[in-house]
Amino acid sequence: MKFEIALSLLLVVLVGITIIQGCNGKAVQFIFGDSLSDNGNNNRLSMTLAKANLPYYGIDFGNGLPNGRFTNGRTVADIIGDSTGLPRPPAFLDPSIDEDVILENGVNYASGGGGILNETGTYFIQRLSLWKQIELFHGTTELITKKLGKQASDEFFQEARYVVALGSNDFINNYLMPVYRDSWTYNDETFVEYLMETLEKQLLVLHKLGARKLMVFGLGPMGCIPLQRVLSTTGKCQDRGNKLALSFNKAANNLLISLEPKLTNASFKFGDAYDVVDDVIRNPYKY
Q: Give the separation between CA 223 and CA 119, rounded to whole angstroms.
A: 21
What are the counts of helices (DSSP H) followed by strands (DSSP E) for the chain? 11, 5
pLDDT > 50? residue 23: no
> What domain range is 126 assigned to?
25-286
Segment among 2-6, 79-83, 160-164 with least mean pLDDT:
2-6
Would you say residue 136 lies in a domain? yes
106 pLDDT tier (thresholds 50, 70, 90): very high
Q: Smallest Cα–Cα separation from 11: which of 222, 161, 158, 225?
A: 161
Q: Which whole number is the average pLDDT over 248-265?
A: 97
pLDDT > 70? residue 16: no
Q: Which whole number is the average pLDDT over 163-190?
A: 95
Would you say residue 255 lies in a domain? yes
Cβ-count burial of 229 within 10 angstroms (0-12 exposed, 13-18 middle, 19+ buried)?
middle
Q: Which whole number is the average pLDDT over 72-86?
A: 88
Check residue 4 and give its pLDDT. Answer: 44
- What's the CATH number where 39 sits? 3.40.50
- The structural domain count of the chain equals 1
Q: Give the separation between CA 221 and CA 277, rounded to whole angstroms.
A: 7
pLDDT > 70? residue 167: yes
Would you say residue 9 lies in a domain? no
Phi first, then psi, for residue 38 (nearest 5°) are -60, 125
Pick 18 or 38 by higher pLDDT: 38
pLDDT > 70? residue 261: yes
Strand partners, 162: 30, 214
Would you say residue 138 lies in a domain? yes
pLDDT > 60? residue 20: no
Q: Which whole number is the average pLDDT over 197-216?
A: 98
Check residue 175 and give its pLDDT. Answer: 97
Mean pLDDT of all residues in the chain? 91
Task: Judge whether 214 and 164 are in contact, CB under 8 Å.
Answer: yes
Segment among 20-34, 55-69, 78-92, 174-188 with least mean pLDDT:
20-34
% helix / strand / coil in the chain, to the nearest 5? 50, 10, 40
Would you say residue 1 lies in a domain? no
Segment among 8-17, 77-86, 224-233 with least mean pLDDT:
8-17
Task: Please enumerate in sequence order all residues whose Cβ is within 8 A of that of 262, keeping only pairs 6 or more positions apart, or say none.
Answer: none
Would you say residue 118 lies in a domain? yes
Q: Which whole number is the average pLDDT over 34-51?
A: 97
Q: For residue 184, give the amino acid letter.
A: W
Check residue 17 and give its pLDDT. Answer: 40
Check residue 19 and give its pLDDT. Answer: 42
Pick 17 or 139 by higher pLDDT: 139
Would you say residue 7 lies in a domain? no
DSSP code at position 122: G
Q: Which whole number is the average pLDDT over 144-158?
A: 97
Check residue 25 and give its pLDDT. Answer: 52
Look up the pTM and report it.
0.92
Would you say residue 154 lies in a domain? yes
